[in-house]
C-alpha cells in the first residue's frame, strides 16, 4: 500500500509547464502570472 496522496486533477491546458502555476488566457495564448511563460495557440505541446 502506498502512502502517496491521491492524484490531483490537473488541467494541463492551463497549467504552466515551466513552474506549475495556473495560467491566464491572453488573446490567442495563455500566460503564467507567476513566471511569465506563455504558450501559443499554435505551437503548444497538445
5 or 38, which is more confident? 38
Give dist(CA 20, CA 18) in Å, integer: 6
For residue range 7-44, what is the model confidence (pLDDT) as tens digits? Answer: 667 777 788 989 989 999 988 888 999 999 988 766 65
- Neighbouring residues of 7: CB distance < 8 A, sequence distance ≥ 6: none
Question: Is pTM beyond 0.75 here?
Answer: no
| Domain ranges within the chain, ordered by starting residue | 13-40
Amino acid at each position: 500500500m502506498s502512502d502517496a496522496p491521491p492524484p490531483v486533477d490537473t488541467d494541463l491546458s492551463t497549467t504552466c509547464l515551466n513552474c506549475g502555476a495556473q495560467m491566464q488566457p491572453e488573446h490567442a495564448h495563455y500566460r503564467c502570472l507567476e513566471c511569465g511563460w506563455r504558450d501559443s495557440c499554435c505551437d503548444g505541446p497538445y
